[in-house]
Chain A
Amino acid sequence: MARLGSVLKKLSGKKTGKLEKRWDFTVGEPLISAPFVGKDYDGNYVIIFATTRGKVYVLSTDKKVRWTFEIEETLDEIQMLFADKERSKTVSTIPLFEDIDGDQRKEIVVGSENGKLYVIDHEGKLKWEFQTKGTIRSTPILYDAGSPHGKILLFGSSDHLLYALDGKGKNIWTFMAESGIESSPSVLLKGGRDDQIVFGDNKGYVYGISPLGRLLWKFKTGGQIRAKPIITELISNPEHRQTILIGSYDKNFYALDEQGNPIWHFSSEGSIRSTAAVEDINQDGRKEIVFGSNDNRVYALNDRGEKLWSYETDFWVVDRPLIVDLDNDKKFEIIVGSYDASLYVLDSQGEFMLNYIPGVSAVAMQSGSYSDQITTDPGHYTGKKLWEYKLDSLIVGTGFEQDNHEIVVSTRDGKVSVFVHRE
């Protein structure tokens, strides 16, 4: 009977099935950063994550530990007294997994609270480390700057500097921001010298700097910036002008042009720490923007900054939403973890509210948060939950394995879990 119901649902275009946990890997120490999920040179997927006690894990997707690396610190008695033993080795950056030095092997790059950037080779051995004078919470990126430096690593530190290092760890240039940098940089690609490196700082400035580290523009928001800017040709145009999309702790989500001028902003009711995801989620030929806010909601905006729908969870949404086709139905789903300890899969198109106020029983029958249902004006879209999986601890980050459609989730209590959608 249940199977018949499922078939009928499917025929009517309704989503069926559920989220199922494939496995859990217990680390035994807290996690505060998202996992990296991607392919190694051998074509196999790996899951890479780092812990608050400075241990980096590389797992295969069948839960086997390929290798681990542990940050080591030698401190004398005086340095020990000054050190934050709980946090000094903490890794809060998402691991970067790229061939940074052209040796045809991918290295892992992580930054730590002790101010060091670590580059680890494919066997888990330290290649080199670089010391800054602050803590590193800004996830490093690799950027091909062309001649003469080639690929360079870019990351910020709480010492107010954005660093550019070559593949061997040599500091090429630094850029001094107004305050500490926790936002990961992004690159606005225009071709060679016209490229821009874009990032935010803790005083709320968004900067555009040249590939040689010279300030081009800066834009002030009203709060700290911890999200990574997303740069995209939001509205298709013949000159391929791009838009910078970034959220701030001032509760606003901003769209800036290539000169750092505001195009529009959208006000949420909470600080925005989540990095945005951009895709044509409703197949209307235009891009939409999805991000989380500390007002507990996930928002979907159109390319003019107007809300399409929002979905309310029970706590902050810090995780970057993933836009993927989880169930192979050629439609996108939004995957996002919340600090309420639930993993959500949302319908990318939301749900249309009927043009009448439903009774209590009708509200209770609908998916999604009741408060969203009740407060959304009839005739508009609201967020629609497809599936939810309750975990034991707040979700700090998610990743996606494309081949087998697996969701990888890191939780604060020190677990990495893998989920799949099953009919």
Chain B
Amino acid sequence: MALDYPTIERVPTYVESLDANLQGGIPKGNITLISGSAGTMKSSLCFNILYNESLAGKNSLYISLEQSSRSLLAHINNLGYDLSKVNIVLINDIAKLTQKMSEMKQSGNLVIADVAAIRKQVKGMEMGPSADWLNVIKNIISRMKEANTLDHFVLDSMSALYVLTHFEHPRAALFHIFEFLRDSGITSFLISEMPLDRSKYSQFEVEDYLADGIILLELTERQRKVTRELSVVKMRATNCNNDVWTLEFKNGKFKVLYGGQPPLL
């Protein structure tokens, strides 16, 4: 009897030419590590996906552990995204979490959880021994799923999570984070700060093989010109080109150029 292969639904990255390379996008439900050093537009690339998916009626959650929602929105607005077109729900007060959940529309919500603000709110409060920021992330995801559907999730960033949460057994803890995200069925993007020496994609390296995909963003200096570059290091269930692409961002839109237009040497 022939096996019935499931068709793979894909989430577009809304990066011109990249989606064609990814057979239409990232497989739905995959966990993708967006890795790169500072200034490589990791957060912007992720926000670009959530923004465009919200316009398409999907519900998304962006958890910012370090950058305040105010700073993030100012940055996004400056990049040219029309924020009035999507239903942005800001969570920066835990006490109003239930109320904020009720503000969500049926579809097209882009929820931004400002954990930096929540951190200030709970500073000095006595919590139980099992209390940690990882639970906050998991509980916000669960609450959002209970209140509505949740299609996509961005964690900005894994590096900040490691600073906030002490993992006695990091490999086991990370295994459980990935297991939780995979079981929840949402398409997840985990932003990972890459060390300057580019020695690894993620802090504990176990994230690399737990993730279904790795998109690497880099800044390449040639003489005095700096070029942004993108490569798909791995993407499960996708036949893609793993070469390095030049990444460009103009007028609120990303695009990649195969082979790029390298500056004249």
Interface residues of A, Cβ cutoff 8 Å to B = 75, 77-85, 87-88, 113-115, 132-135, 157-159, 179-180, 202
B102 at the interface (CB under 8 A from A): no
Contact of B129 among A134, A179, A202 (CB under 8 A): A134
B74 at the interface (CB under 8 A from A): no
26 pairs, CB–CB < 8 Å, chain A vs chain B: A75-B128, A77-B97, A78-B122, A79-B128, A79-B131, A81-B135, A81-B139, A82-B122, A82-B128, A82-B132, A82-B136, A82-B139, A83-B128, A83-B130, A83-B131, A83-B135, A84-B138, A85-B139, A85-B142, A114-B129, A134-B129, A135-B130, A158-B168, A179-B168, A180-B168, A202-B168
B210 at the interface (CB under 8 A from A): no
> Would you call B128 and A115 a contact (CB within 8 A)?
yes
Docked complex Cα distance between A311 and B128 (Å): 43
- Among B95, B97, B122, B168, the one with the most A-chain Cβ atoms within 10 Å of its Cβ is B168
Docked complex Cα distance between A134 and B128 (Å): 8
Known contacts: A77-B95, A81-B139, A85-B139. The answer to whether A114 contacts B128 by CB under 8 A is yes
Interface residues of B, Cβ cutoff 8 Å to A = 94-95, 97-98, 122, 125, 127-133, 135-136, 138-140, 142, 168
Docked complex Cα distance between A158 and B130 (Å): 10
**Which residues of B are found within 8 Å of A82, using beta-carbon distances?**
122, 127-128, 131-133, 135-136, 139
**Which residues of A are found within 8 Å of B138, using beta-carbon distances?**
84
A143, chain B: closest CB distance, angstroms: 24
Known contacts: A83-B130, A88-B130, A114-B130. The answer to whether A78 contacts B168 by CB under 8 A is no
> Would you call A81 and B168 a contact (CB within 8 A)?
no
Docked complex Cα distance between A159 and B128 (Å): 12
Interface of B, secondary structure class, is: helix
**Which residues of B are found within 8 Å of A113, using beta-carbon distances?**
129-130
**Which residue of chain A has the shortest Cβ distance to B118 in the bound complex?**
A81
**Which residue of chain B has the shortest Cβ distance to A135 in the bound complex?**
B129
> Would you call B127 and A79 a contact (CB within 8 A)?
yes
**Which residues of A are found within 8 Å of B125, using beta-carbon distances?**
78
**Which residue of chain B has the shortest Cβ distance to A224 in the bound complex?**
B169
Known contacts: A84-B135, A85-B139. The answer to whether A78 contacts B130 by CB under 8 A is no
Closest 3 CB pairs of A and B: A82-B131, A115-B129, A84-B130
- Among A81, A115, A134, A180, the one with the most B-chain Cβ atoms within 10 Å of its Cβ is A81
Docked complex Cα distance between A202 and B125 (Å): 27
**Which residues of B are found within 8 Å of A114, using beta-carbon distances?**
128-130
Docked complex Cα distance between A58 and B65 (Å): 45
**Which residues of A are found within 8 Å of B131, using beta-carbon distances?**
79, 82-84
**Which residues of A are found within 8 Å of B139, using beta-carbon distances?**
80-83, 85
B149, chain A: closest CB distance, angstroms: 20
Docked complex Cα distance between A263 and B128 (Å): 41
Docked complex Cα distance between A370 and B168 (Å): 38
**Which residues of A are found within 8 Å of B98, using beta-carbon distances?**
77
A77, chain B: closest CB distance, angstroms: 7
**Which residues of A are found within 8 Å of B94, using beta-carbon distances?**
77-78, 81
Docked complex Cα distance between A61 and B139 (Å): 40
B168, chain A: closest CB distance, angstroms: 6
**Which residues of B are found within 8 Å of A134, using beta-carbon distances?**
129
Supply 19 further A-B pairs (C-beta < 8 A) apart from A77-B95, A81-B97, A84-B131. Answer: A75-B128, A78-B122, A79-B131, A81-B94, A81-B139, A82-B131, A82-B139, A83-B135, A84-B135, A84-B138, A85-B139, A87-B130, A88-B128, A113-B130, A114-B128, A114-B130, A115-B128, A115-B129, A115-B130
Known contacts: A78-B122, A81-B135. The answer to whether A133 contacts B95 by CB under 8 A is no
Docked complex Cα distance between A260 and B126 (Å): 39
**Which residues of B are found within 8 Å of A115, using beta-carbon distances?**
128-130
**Which residues of A are found within 8 Å of B168, using beta-carbon distances?**
158, 179-180, 202
**Which residues of B are found within 8 Å of A85, using beta-carbon distances?**
139, 142
Docked complex Cα distance between A79 and B125 (Å): 9
Known contacts: A77-B95, A78-B122. The answer to whether A159 contacts B129 by CB under 8 A is yes
Docked complex Cα distance between A133 and B127 (Å): 9
B178, chain A: closest CB distance, angstroms: 15
**Which residues of B are found within 8 Å of A158, using beta-carbon distances?**
129, 168
Docked complex Cα distance between A179 and B166 (Å): 13
